[in-house]
Structure 1
Amino acid sequence: MVKMVVVEHLLDLAGFYQLPFDVKDEKSVDIYVPDEDAIVRGRLDFLVFKNQLWLAIIESKNAGVSIREAIPQTLAYMLANPQADRPIFGLLTNGDDFVFMKLTQQDIPKYALSDKFTLLKRENELYRVLSIMKKLGQLFS
């Protein structure tokens, strides 16, 4: 429900459903785990890309689930990015709270999280989330 009610509208308002971007939902990815010689399969909630360059992965959870639970899953998906020489961004949400993530993999994978934006304040922070999404879109268009 969070995907339909919140995320799809944010993607539309941020301009990600327009050229030069493409959005895939429920995209399957395979992640190779060398230590265990295994392949882990997963499904991205949303993948925003331009040509073959992955720009952002969006992971949504149900409203009652903490965003913290989405961090390991999203990082695993981000590590599957075929262009490991470029940073990739993520957005984690449960419909009430939003956190942006950035991953770089040049030498050693490093990630950073933004502050948490929430709808549960007097001043609704959804506009700030949309503003950040638009800025990311401008950087990559």
Structure 2
Amino acid sequence: MQTIQAKDVTLEQLETHFQLQRVEDEQFFPEWHGDLPELTDWQNQLLEQVRSGYFNLLKQPPLLEKPINLAVVSPLLFIGQFYLSPWNLRAESTVQISAQDEERGIIVKGNLDTLILKDKLWVMVIESKQANFSVEAGLAQILAYMLGNPNSAQPSFGMITTGGSFLFLKVVKDTTPLYAMSDLFGIGNRQNGLGDVLKILKKLIYLSSSANLE
């Protein structure tokens, strides 16, 4: 049995040993762009402060995971109300997935930066990567975590962020596991991309709270 750390796994390995497939049909992942909630003036004001804080961090390289979490990710989770009941926030949880094929068994193991659960329902995985990497650098890693979701009856949603860029993902563990990605959202866009990010987070909260996941 071969063990691979999640940080070292590749998309090719996930496709080969776990039959993971990417879906490009927009109807597979409508949650990130359809019927998003509005933000209050207070939320927009706070997002501008978060944006200013991020640009202040850029003046003090290297931009590492912990400062990004404190300055960008944590405020988003606060505004999104992930810290309030009925949500349970659990960090640094070990996730393991395994698969058997004719030649060898594969185990992928790793830790989550942030794991958000409600009644053992995997809702959001947030991977903060160093700013000198693109969000795609963490794609295989976060997909490995999401494939480790013990609740296979519901979709898993994830988000990768460098602090400046954000990418949402959806995984459905059917007979063949499927995934799709959102557009890329940037904090440095002419219009603060954090507004769209927060709207998507709020939408996912609503879907999970109403048990209306499809």
RMSD over aligned Cα, in angstroms? 1.2
The equivalent position to 2:107 in structure 1, one of 19, 39, 46, is 39
Other-structure match for 1:63: 131
Q: Secondary structure at the match of 1:70?
A: helix
Once the two structures are TM-superposed, the CA of residue 91 in structure 1 deviates from its matched residue by 0.5
Asked if 1:135 is matched to 2:180, the reply is no
Query: Is residue 93 of structure 2 the alignment partner of residue 21 of structure 1?
Result: no
SS of aligned partner of 1:137 = helix
Query: Could you state the TM-score of these two structures normalised by the residue count of structure 2?
Result: 0.63
Task: Give CA-to-partner distance per residue, 1:73-118, whole Å, 9 cap, x none.
Answer: 0000000000112100000100000010000011211111000000
- Greater RCO (Cα-Cα under 8 Å, separation 6 or more): 2
1:39-94 deviation line (CA, Å, top 9, x unaligned): 33200111111011111111110111110111100000000000112100000100
AA of the residue aligned to 1:13: I
Q: What is the 5 A alignment of 1:107-118?
A: 107-118=175-186
Q: Who is 1:9 aligned against?
A: 75
Q: Determine which structure has the larger helix proportion and give its number.
A: 2
**CA apart distance, 1:121:** 1.3
Paired with 1:26 and 1:4, the residues of 2 have a C-alpha distance of 16
Superposed CA deviations along residues 5-58 of structure 1, whole A, max 9, x for unmatched, are 211111111010001111111111122242432433200111111011111111
Structure-1 residue corresponding to 2:150: 82
Give the count of matched residue pairs.
141
Q: In structure 2, how many angstroms separate the alpha carbons of the residues matched to 1:48 and 1:24? A: 6
Q: Which segments of 5 or more consecutive residues in structure 1 lack a partner in the other structure?
A: none
Confirm or deny: 8 A CA contact 1:33 1:40 kept in the other structure: no
- What residue is the counterpart of 1:49 in the other structure? 117
- Is the radius of gyration larger for structure 1 or structure 2? 2
Please state if 1:99 is matched with 2:170.
no
Take 1:25 and 1:99, find their aligned partners in 2: how far apart are those partners? 20
Matched-pair identity in %? 42
- What secondary structure sits across from 1:114 in the alignment? strand
1:134 CA displacement? 0.8
Range with bigger deviation, 31-40 or 9-18:
31-40
